[in-house]
Amino acid sequence: MPGSPRADQGIGQGHPGRGDRLASAMVVPEPEPEEVVVSTKKQDAVGSLGYDVFVNEAPPQDGVLPNGEPRVFSPMASTLIYGSEDAVLTDPGMTLEQARVLGDWVAEKGKNLTDIFVTHGHGDHWFAAGMLAERFGARVVAGAGTIAEMGRNLAMRPVLWDKVYAGLIPPSPVTAVTVPDNRFTVEGHDLVIVEVGPTDTVDSTVLHVPDLDLVVAGDVIYNGVHMFLAQGALVGGFGPWREAIDTVAALRPRLIVAGHQNKQLDEDAERTIAETRQYLDDADELLKTAPAAVDFFLAKIERYPGYLGRTVLWAGASALYGARGQAGEDLGKALLSGWF
């Protein structure tokens, strides 16, 4: 399957030196992102219930990566879960332009948008929520931990988000509310907020839609896109993330919508869970053998040549290596260094 790592692509099989890997990584540049809609629908036995996925174009960014290719952020997926009249949108993106094109797509569906759900507090998943909530008269919903993390990401805008994407992000007050028992509905169908703990951020959640055998996974599960690994530097490794994956697997979904996904890949739950676990296993191995962040970065590209989001890969690698032995203000600088 495109983008899936193969055993014969590992650096353990006579891997070249850093210079050869650098040249190799530059030969196959990351594909240009584009706006696309990936549609999957199912008629539920109780009534009409379906979902569509919109994969939004990554915003422009200045600078180049260590292998010389342009910095490009990861594609970002929003899911519309809908009945015959009403709908719920998840993870509405970050920028003014993303809000505009996503909003136009939602409007074309002709549904009454009742709620906008945010899986976790990273700004790329919710900074556009206010614009879309105002456009459609929708409520913004999230778990309590996510709402707290949204506030922290809002505070980070001047030192991170607005530096990387100057002038592209709308005003983003935190207006999200919790719902009783972490449940809400669309036309009588349960949408269950499942708290899974730390992944690539603290207090992640997923949205379980039992009647569709669907989990909207945010950043808990990735699909053909490099994972943001920096949180491992703060929690002592990837153990908590693996536990979160186990929580998702226990829901036994048939379909998973990853918050960051390659449009060419399907949404098979078994495959995406397995590949997310493997990516973390490979990261643990490389952290023991790759001497520096650039070596880790190049080795990951070698193992996953079809994966998108190499800017996020570099930001995570820089944080993992830069945070070693750091504390306080120096730790904060190390965690941000790879974004610029």
pLDDT tens digits, residue range 202-245? 999 999 999 999 999 999 999 999 999 999 888 889 999 999 99
Query: Is residue 24 predicted with pLDDT exceeding 60?
Result: no
Distance CA 315, CA 338 (A): 4
Strands (E), 213-260: 214-218, 255-258
Kindly state the percentage of the chain with pLDDT values over 70. 85
Strand order in the sheet with 255-258: 183-186, 189-197, 204-209, 214-218, 255-258
- Please enumerate in sequence order all residues whose Cβ is within 8 A of that of 271, keeping only pairs 6 or more positions apart, or say none: 1, 4
Write the single-letter amino acid at 110.
G
pLDDT of residue 12: 27
Question: CB–CB of 174/154 below 8 Å?
Answer: yes
22-26, 243-247, 266-270: least confidently modelled range? 22-26
Write the single-letter amino acid at 141.
V
Query: Is residue 254 predicted with pLDDT exceeding 90?
Result: yes
Query: Is residue 113 predicted with pLDDT exceeding 90?
Result: yes
Length reported for the chain: 340
Model-wide pTM > 0.95: no
* DSSP per-residue letters across 280-335: HHHHHHHHHH--SHHHHHHHHHHH-TT-B-HHHHHHHHHHHHHTTT--HHHHHHHH
Per-residue pLDDT of 43-69, as tens digits, reads 333 468 999 999 998 888 999 999 999
Domain range 34-271, its CATH number among 1.25.40.80, 3.60.15.10, 3.30.70.580, 1.10.1740.10: 3.60.15.10
